[in-house]
Chains A and B, each alone.
Chain A
Amino acid sequence: QQQVKQSPQSLIVQKGGISIINCAYENTAFDYFPWYQQFPGKGPALLIAIRPDVSEKKEGRFTISFNKSAKQFSLHIMDSQPGDSATYFCAASTAGGYQKVTFGTGTKLQVIP
């Protein structure tokens, strides 16, 4: 019930295209859904996050779509650039003093010119 399932495992997108990564969860107690971006040999960094009271959040070229009833959320990268090539992790956690974060297995994105 704590699992977060992420797909696809890898993704190749042409420059200027849209990258879409999907995640699904089971635990309805989750109420914070961040996406992290990780470059090779580096630690992950928060990219964008959403709470379940909204269905969409946009920051620049990055958008999270959230479907509470389906228990799914997705990351859309518009106008994908080679510099977006990285591994993306979705995650979910519950509110409270300690945030135990459950991570998806990651999607390796390659944006080709």
Chain B
Amino acid sequence: DGGITQSPKYLFRKEGQNVTLSCEQNLNHDAMYWYRQDPGQGLRLIYYSQIVNDFQKGDIAEGYSVSREKKESFPLTVTSAQKNPTAFYLCASSQLAGASFGEQFFGPGTRLTVL
């Protein structure tokens, strides 16, 4: 069953801690993305990656870091430098060509709360 998995579903962080959100896809997609979703706002792009070992900053990259060591995995680290990290985080992937070109497939999300 192809798709995107994110873990954990809920995550609590104390002030000053770094936390890592997991994202795995078995769709064989080249591109992967991280978005942040806040109430009343659209999805804002944090980082994206088109290929293994390469990634680019999105619109709100400050306080976040990513890695892309494997095609199927794109973990996101929320660092202590992120001043307001409480949000719903969504991982997505897409093909860069082919029949479903243009469609982004989303994972179920991780809700991060800072205590």
List B residues 27-76 near A (Cβ within 8 Å).
31, 40-43, 45, 48, 50
A49 to B94, CA, bound (A): 15
For the complex of A and B, the 4 pairs showing the least CB-CB separation, nearest first, are A43-B106, A103-B42, A32-B102, A103-B43
A-B CB pair tally, cutoff 8 Å: 61
Interface flags, B15-30, vs A, CB<8A=1, else 0: 0000000000000000
Q: Using known A-B contacts A41-B109, A42-B109, A44-B90, determine if residue A99 contacts B104 with beta carbons closer than 8 Å.
A: yes
Nearest CB on B from A3, distance (A): 10
A44 to B40, CA, bound (A): 15
Q: Which residue of A lies closest to B42 (CB)?
A: A103
- A100 contacts which of B4, B40, B48, B90 (Cβ < 8 Å)? B48
Given A44-B43, A99-B94, A99-B101, 20 more pairs with CB closer than 8 A: A34-B103, A36-B106, A41-B108, A42-B109, A43-B4, A43-B106, A44-B90, A44-B106, A46-B104, A49-B102, A89-B43, A97-B50, A98-B31, A98-B96, A99-B31, A99-B104, A100-B48, A105-B41, A106-B40, A106-B42
Q: Which residue of A lies closest to B88 (CB)?
A: A41
Q: Using known A-B contacts A32-B102, A93-B102, determine if residue A43 contacts B107 with beta carbons closer than 8 Å.
A: yes
Q: Which residue of B lies closest to A102 (CB)?
A: B42
Residues of B within 8 A of A93 (CB): 102
In the complex, the answer to whether B48 meets A98 with C-beta atoms within 8 Å is yes
| Sample of 10 A–B contacts (CB below 8 Å) | A34-B103, A41-B111, A43-B107, A44-B106, A45-B106, A101-B45, A101-B104, A105-B40, A106-B40, A106-B41
List A residues 23-77 near B (Cβ within 8 Å).
32, 34, 36, 41-46, 49
Interface flags, B69-95, vs A, CB<8A=1, else 0: 000000000000000000000101010
